[in-house]
Amino acid sequence: MALSTEVHSNPMNDDESPLSVMPRYRRLWRYSIFITVVVAVFPLLIMTALNYQLDKSSYRSESRYKIARILSNTKRTLSFVVQERRSVLSLIIKEHPYADLVNQSNLRSTLKNLQDSFGGFVDLGVINSDGYQIAYTGPYDLKGRNYKDQDWFHEVNLRGVYVSDVFLGLRGFPHFVIAFKHYDGKGNFYVLRATLDMELLTDQIYSLELDRSTDAFIINEDGVLQTASAFYGDVLENVDRKIPPHSRLREVVEVYESDGNWFTSGYAHIADTPFILMAITQQNNPLTHWVQTQSEQIWFLVGGIIAICLVTYYSTTRLINKLKEADLRRAKMMHNIEYTNKLATIGRMAAGVSHEINNPLAIINEKAGLLKDMVNFNENFPAKEKTLKLINSILYSVDRCSKVTHRLLGFSRRMDMQKELIDLEHLLKEVVGFQSKEIALRGIDVNYDIEEDLPSIESDRGQLQQVFLNLFNNAITAMDHEGRIEISANRVGSKEVAVTVKDNGIGIRPENLEHIFEPFYSTKGDFGTGLGLSITNDIVNKLGGRIDVESEVGKGTSFTITLPIKR
């Protein structure tokens, strides 16, 4: 339902009628729709924003909880695995005398028992205080090898126990070492060193059954992978991540990388080892996750907004149109009242003029006629010819005044529509005669172009006089001295005639042209009522015709009245 009014920018002065703001309905329509939509949609948008924030917080909390749970469970398992093997090695070195440990057969039996009972042990070796491996059992020939200059030997000598990082060494596969220092009965120390397969810890991580967006692995304090990572590569590759300081507590942080990826990352140090358990889950952008998980609510929101807009558009358009129609009815009523008052005033004036002028004119006409008779019957009347000439001049002037009052009465005496045959050429020249003095004073040239054999039309003479008088008045007002008015009349088809009144005046601006038939709209300032063309348009419509206008600023205006030949 489209709004059937146009937007105009005709400012209302303090003394203007409120009806002069009728062209502003479009602006009122827009403001009404805008305010209604904002008031209705704003709470929905607030609720949507709150829903997004809650979803974002929940999503982030869920990711943090997921990582925290992985860290807690896996750290506990890994710590138990390492601590269990440390404890058994500590027990062996304390319970077995030095002589039993360096016995090759006993050492082999011990390794076999460890492998069967605990798993993960690759070899065992005993190293004296000089760094020589004096006893060894395992898949390699390492007996007699000297470790005195290696860092781990100094570390175990200093601290009494040592757990190494993962390395490949001679074995060529990832493993780590646990070593304990102990003293023999003679004051010398020795070291029990065990090599453990890294699969012992890797199997614990693989058992987590992580999804594709989550990774868990072990790194050392230098950022070197101790187990393979789905995100960062294979064992012993460097991870480009900041390593948190040593802490017994786990740490979970959110990381936003430069490539636009979101991660929730967690760290947990495994006690008494150089290992750091790390778990990472890759998140969607919170907005993307919200759109994916809340798609139904989002579609409901979009549908609700569209429905609100449509209902607001329809209801506001209907309301504004009703308001416009009511104001137009009021304007038409005021217009009719003004028009009726105007014609009533003219009628009263015409009656007064007729009463005040026609009676003296009748007396003058009677006395002049009597005087003419007296002159005619007196053959010896002095200056008879001159006197008769003067008397005839008086009688002509009286007749001329009578015609003027007759035309005035004919213009104003009828209020209701009357139908009679009208000769348009005679009517047009008669109406121009009303303005003959004004036309002569301004030096305006009036040209006629009337089609030959133009048919007479059935219409209301007084109403047509009103129409053309208004058009002529506007044309005269629009021109300076020595202007030109062109009046043409011709048949249009078989049922209509068209009368055009064209002037070469100042013209009408395009922004004003579409408003000139609106009640109380005037471009004459304080000199215009804004009713002339409105009344003219109303009369033409009542007579069954139409009025068209063309104008160009600085070149003039042309009004064309098209009327039916028969009503």
The pLDDT tens digits for 4-62 are: 333 333 333 434 443 444 567 888 888 888 888 888 888 888 888 888 888 888 888 88
Residue 243: C-alpha distances to residues 103, 233, 268, 502 (Å) = 44, 17, 11, 93
Render pLDDT for 314-325 as a digit per residue (tens, 0 to 9).
888 888 888 888
- The last residue of a domain, from among 277, 293, 309: 293
- Residue 403 pLDDT level (bands cut at 50, 70, 90): low
The DSSP letter of residue 454 is: P
Burial of 451 (0-12, 13-18, 19+ CB in 10 A): middle
223 and 79 housed in the same domain: yes
* Tokens read off for 335: 């217009």
Render pLDDT for 60-107 as a digit per residue (tens, 0 to 9).
888 889 899 999 989 999 999 999 999 999 999 999 998 899 999 999
> How far is it, in rounded angstroms, from Cα 52 to Cα 44?
12
Do 323 and 31 form a contact (C-beta atoms < 8 A)?
Answer: no
Residue 68 domain-assigned (yes or no): yes
99 and 231 housed in the same domain: yes
Residue 521 domain-assigned (yes or no): yes
pTM of the full structure: 0.51
Residue 8 domain-assigned (yes or no): yes
- Sign of the CA dihedral with 512 first, then 518, 520, and 524 last: positive
122-126, 181-185, 289-293: lowest mean pLDDT where?
A: 289-293
Contacts 24+ apart (CB under 8 A), 84-87: 84/118, 85/118, 85/120, 85/121, 85/178, 85/194, 85/196, 86/161, 86/163, 86/178, 86/272
pLDDT of residue 438: 81
Do 143 and 126 form a contact (C-beta atoms < 8 A)?
Answer: no
Residue-range definition of the domain harbouring residue 98: 1-293
Dump strand ranges (E) for 307-451: 420-422, 445-450
129-138, 150-159, 341-350: lowest mean pLDDT where?
A: 341-350
- Residue 410 pLDDT level (bands cut at 50, 70, 90): low
154-163, 231-240, 377-386, 494-503: lowest mean pLDDT where?
A: 377-386
Amino acid making up residue 189? F
Render pLDDT for 520-565 as a digit per residue (tens, 0 to 9).
556 555 445 556 677 788 888 888 899 998 988 888 899 999 999 8
- The last residue of a domain, from among 243, 272, 293: 293
Residue 254 domain-assigned (yes or no): yes
425 and 286 housed in the same domain: no
287 and 421 housed in the same domain: no
Residue 183 in this model has a pLDDT that exceeds 70? yes
Residue 410 domain-assigned (yes or no): no
Residue 552 domain-assigned (yes or no): yes
Residue 279 domain-assigned (yes or no): yes
Residue 246 in this model has a pLDDT that exceeds 90? no
pLDDT of residue 346: 65
- Sign of the CA dihedral with 229 first, then 232, 235, and 241 last: negative
- Residue 519 pLDDT level (bands cut at 50, 70, 90): low
Helix (H, G, I), strand (E, B) or coil at 553: coil
pLDDT of residue 163: 94
Residue 355 domain-assigned (yes or no): no
Task: Give the residue with greater pLDDT, 240 vs 128.
Answer: 128
Do 96 and 88 form a contact (C-beta atoms < 8 A)?
Answer: no
- Count of other CB atoms within 10 angstroms of residue 493: 9
Residue 133: C-alpha distances to residues 89, 136, 144 (Å) = 17, 7, 5
Place of tokens 């040593």: 246
How many independent structural domains does the chain possess? 2
Contacts 24+ apart (CB under 8 A), 9-18: 9/511, 10/515, 10/521, 16/520, 17/334, 17/520
pLDDT of residue 412: 52
44 and 190 housed in the same domain: yes
Residue 259 in this model has a pLDDT that exceeds 70? no
276 and 425 housed in the same domain: no
Percent of the chain with pLDDT over 90: 26
pLDDT of residue 478: 82
Q: What is the CATH number of the domain that holds 105?
A: 3.30.450.20
Mean pLDDT, residues 357-362 taken together: 80
- Residue ranges in 413-451 assigned as alpha helix (H): 424-434, 436-442
- The last residue of a domain, from among 238, 272, 293: 293
Select from 131, 139, 183, 173 the least CA-distant residue to 155: 131
Q: What is the CATH number of the domain that holds 459?
A: 3.30.565.10
pLDDT of residue 347: 64
pLDDT of residue 430: 87
* Tokens read off for 78: 């890994």
Q: What is the dihedral of CA 346, 352, 356, 357, to 10 degrees?
A: 30
